[in-house]
Amino acid sequence: MVMAGKNLGCKGENSQPHNFGSWPWLFQMHGSKNKTCTFFDPEKNSLEERILPEFLQGKACLGCYGEWFLFADELTRECFFLSIISFSKIYIPCFPESPDFFHAVVSITSPPNTSNCIVILVPSRKTFLLVCSPGRKKWMKVPLKYFKKNNGSLYGPSIIYSERLFVMVDLTKTLVIDAAPLIRGRVKMASIMELRPCPIPYYWYTYLVERAGDLFLVLVHSYGHGQTITNVEVCRLELIGNDIHWRRVQDIGDHAFFLSGRCGRSLPANKAWGTQQNCIYLPVNYSDGVRLYKFCLDDQVLTFTFLPENNGGLGRLQWAFPTKIDFWRMKTVQENICNLSDVMRSKKNETDCTIFGKEDENEAVISGRWDEVPIELVELLFSRLSLVDCLRLPSVCKGWSKASRFIPKERVWPWLMHLPNRRYKACNFFDPLYCKEYTVKSDAVVVARDHLTFRYSKNGWVVVTEGNTRVFILNPFTGQVINLPPLPLKNYTFDGISFTSVPTSPDFVVYGFFFQRCGEFVEVSTWCPGEEEWTVLAFQPSIPFFPSSNNPVLFQGEFFCLGRKGELGVFNPELETWNVLCKPEPIYLSEPSYGVEYCYLLELNGDLVSVFRTEETKSPIRVFKLNQSEMVWEHLEHLTGMTLFVDRRNSIAITSPEKEFANRIYVPRFDGGMDSKKGMFYSMDDKRYHPNLHRVEEPLTCVWMEPNLCLHN
């Protein structure tokens, strides 16, 4: 049934905001608790609140198809489509009684004013679908025979693509069902696709998005209760004959993806809208406000802006898109690829590691052989140069690389290693103290065929995974690579990884830690050079242990693991034992509300230090030192001339090279453009972030590392 609705009225009462529908907007219905709707304009970062007409008050928006939005009343269960252009209403049967269905994922095959429109509800954790269409008298329950022979349940999301319904099952499988027979209560299963799980996420959210005839799956990884985003991956549907599967991609072309709830939409990027091509936009409700995330696939960098505050509650955020888009004439953003202002250049050295940068305009011409210069003079030269110049010198000749071990320790501090662009297969190194960035091209990165993830770093060496199966250890400055054998469970499932010493030393051993989610099972895998496979040690401790998301710390010959509440678990590699210490007692009685990814453990001047930081802008970082004689955590107000660099992959403490850098805690984020980046830190003096969290960039593939130029160290 089609009925004419009324416009939202005049400004200040019931009107739509000016320019609503001209570019992507966000809106939030506040349901039965409020009679208003909040409109967010991301392009202008503005907010407007409007009083809803009576027929929309108390309604929840469940989904949309083009100009048609599906609304439902949580009290009366009334359902109808509303056109935001003509304001016509089309009724469909009332919702089933279960309140869980209001949180279900909705798929719509076509506009509700067409004869072939089908509305499909995918209830979470159920084994059936609910189907109806305009003109029907009730919803039809359609059981899925797949679950008679297989365990599991529907997870969502779902999407209609190529006349088929794609729906997720327990995060690991995708059911493909012919959509047309569903309206007759029949299920024709086309196929089942296995989705290879990604490395040990605590949580992830999935979205299905159609773009110009292609179907994409977006996986958003997050940790902890705060739903902090830690990784974003994109897969494209591949159809080769009768074979159908997902394949990871790094590019979505000149489009942008807009995600919300469990729904996704693709639009050509438009500079006039403030949207950027090859990017994904996602709003997330946090305790400190609504954040609009932008993830750029080009450089793997995550940023967010705070949307203006509203007091209307936490209703479901929905995207509203322009209703008429000229897909063929729309101009898309073309990003100019610019070189970094401070990059190092040198000739390619014997290890095929090339460092790019500015040439010295006053270059002198010297005759003779460089390797004939006495090593004592080279060592003296290293002691007088900056770290950047020390990086250049080993490329002069092989003999000079041996002198790099004499670089003064106070001239070496952690840099943030990250992938600037997966297409160019190079690494960037950001110096957070002096705000300089350098690019290094290494063969180990160039030849990678799958996505790279940095897992850990120590003594200038970085543990890297390629895809989910290959693991190797890389020195990005010398080009040396140590390949590790295939993983025990074929995929990377370690919750933590570390090694004992420099990979070229005879006592080098790698340790991988796996903790079962119930906390009652611990597995430690070890590997030494020359061994063809990992040795696996299994433990079932009497005290459950729930680790925070960071790597173990080798301290006084044992590996210490930090729990989410501040407890400690210890693995002794010599005795091959695992214990959960009764002391120190946990810092928190329950898990911190900001999750497990912001708990760090590191060594500081012979002591163990734990750092707990929150993503909320108003909450400070808390730092504790372990009193080893009494085995208690002691709260620290100052770092007494030290500087910390913290991250879940690696945390490092150094004596500050300059007084101005002391008493700071650097995090793996920066602010500014290509030529003016500034490292982000938390000051223990004024208890604030500098700069604030707003609009800072966070490379998701990164790790703190200390440069090491020695070929054998």
Q: Which helix (H) or strand (E) holds 148?
A: helix 146-149
Task: Sort strands 279-286 and 255-260 into parallel, antiparallel or unpaired.
Answer: parallel
> What does the pLDDT average to over 500-524?
87
- What pLDDT shows up at residue 347? 28
Residues in the chain: 713
Tens-digit pLDDT profile for residues 684-695:
988 888 887 777
CB atoms within 10 A of CB 115: 8
d(CA 211, CA 47): 29
User: Which carries the bigger pLDDT value, residue 304 or residue 710?
Assistant: 304
Query: Is pLDDT above 50 for 219?
Result: yes
Whether 628 and 570 have beta carbons less than 8 Å apart is answered as: no
pLDDT in tens, 160-216: 887 788 887 766 677 888 877 876 766 666 555 655 444 334 457 788 898 888 899
Look at residue 465 in the predicted model and tell me its pLDDT: 87
d(CA 352, CA 395): 10
Which residues have C-beta within 8 Å of that of residue 133, sequence separation ≥ 6? 92, 117, 118, 119, 183
Tokens 């709260």 correspond to what residue? 635
Q: Which of 71, 159, 83 is nearest to 118 (CA)?
A: 159
- What distance lies between CA 298 and its chain's CA centroid? 14
In this predicted model, which residue has the larger pLDDT, 279 or 242? 279
**Pick from 12-26, 68-82, 148-162: least confident:** 12-26
Q: What is the pLDDT of residue 353?
A: 37
What three-state secondary structure class fits 88?
strand
Whether the pLDDT of residue 636 is over 80: the answer is yes
Please give the average per-residue pLDDT across 440-463, as a whole number: 78
Phi then psi for residue 31, to 5 deg, are: 60, -150
pLDDT of amino acid 409: 60
Is the sign of the CA dihedral 12, 18, 22, 27 positive or negative? Answer: negative
Mean pLDDT, the chain, as a whole number?
76
Helix (H) / strand (E) element for 462: namely strand 461-466
Mapped onto helix, strand or coil, the DSSP state of residue 13 is: coil
Q: What pLDDT, on the 0 to 100 scale, is given for residue 593?
A: 52
Q: Note if the bond before 414 is cis, omega within 30 degrees.
A: no
Q: Is the pLDDT of residue 223 over 90?
A: no
User: Are the C-beta atoms of residues 159 and 217 closer than 8 Å to each other?
Assistant: no
- pTM of the full predicted structure? 0.76
> From its phi and psi, is residue 330 left (phi > 0), alpha (psi between -120 and 50) or beta?
beta
Q: What are phi and psi of 450, to 5 degrees?
A: -120, 175
Average pLDDT of 417-437? 80
The rounded distance, in Å, linking the Cα atoms of 222 and 232 is 9
pLDDT, tens digit, 9 for 90 and up, residues 5-62: 334 433 444 466 777 767 788 877 765 456 777 888 887 777 777 777 888 877 888 8
Cβ distance 335 to 281 under 8 Å?
Answer: no
- What is the mean predicted confidence (pLDDT) over 430-455? 77
For residue 108, give the 3-state DSSP assignment: strand
Residue 686 pLDDT: 87
Q: Which of 76-80, 312-316, 529-533, 667-671 has the lowest mean pLDDT?
A: 312-316
The rounded percent of the chain whose pLDDT value lies above 70 is 72
- Using one digit for the tens of pLDDT, what is the confidence trace for 659-686? 889 999 999 998 865 557 888 999 998 8
**Does residue 407 have a pLDDT over 70?**
no
Only one residue has tokens 């003064």, namely 408
Of residues 587 and 184, more confidence is placed in 587
